[in-house]
Amino acid sequence: MRRLLFLPLLLAALLLAGCATDKRNQSLTATLNAYANTLRWGDFQTAEQFVDPEVREKHPVSALDRARYQQLKVSDYNDDAGPVPDGENQVRQTVQINLVNIHTQTERSVIDHQIWRYDPAKNRWWLTSGLPDVSQQ
């Protein structure tokens, strides 16, 4: 009799775990798409809101970096490789971002190694690696 009760409970637990994973994956897809679209429009100020609040507090964006972001336009954001799981609540993603300097009209690429952390309590993904380093040569 115990076995008959255990099986439905086990199935229910597995279904709930599957639902949580689906919710997390949907949240990741929505977050990565929103972040990519924000950067494609060159809106680095809004993109900063995707950065983990603890990271923002410990490493605020400098005035110099803000000035750099203002003089650049994003001409391409290539995230074709997609996110790669790196633990239960973390993914990594490598993105190539093509930038055009609005003053010189020269284009260059930077590689952005992103690390995203999932907060299950808020069903939210946070960028822990910070905004792209546009000072790369």
In a domain, 133, yes or no: no
Range of the structural domain that residue 92 is part of: 13-127
Number of folded domains in the chain?
A: 1
In a domain, 101, yes or no: yes
pLDDT in tens, the chain (137 residues): 544 444 443 334 333 444 457 889 999 999 999 999 999 999 999 999 999 999 999 999 999 999 999 999 999 999 999 999 999 899 999 999 999 999 999 999 999 999 999 999 999 999 999 999 998 76
Residues sharing a CB contact under 8 Å with residue 114, sequence separation 6 or more, in sequence order: 92, 93, 94, 95, 127, 129
In a domain, 35, yes or no: yes
Q: Which of 13, 17, 74, 68 is nearest to 42 (CA)?
A: 74
CA distance 108 to 98: 6
| 1: exposed, middle or buried (Cβ count in 10 Å: 0-12, 13-18, 19+) | exposed
CATH assignment at residue 56? 3.10.450.100
pLDDT for res 5: 44
In a domain, 8, yes or no: no
**CB of 40 closer than 8 Å to CB of 77:** yes
In a domain, 120, yes or no: yes
In a domain, 23, yes or no: yes
In a domain, 137, yes or no: no
Q: Which of 99, 96, 93 is nearest to 69 (CA)?
A: 99
The two tokens of residue 115 are 């690390």
Scored b (16 or more CB within 10 A) or e, 24-56 reads beebbeebbeebbebbeebebeebbebbbeebb
3-state secondary structure of 31: helix
In a domain, 136, yes or no: no
Helix and strand counts by DSSP (H, E) for the chain = 4, 5
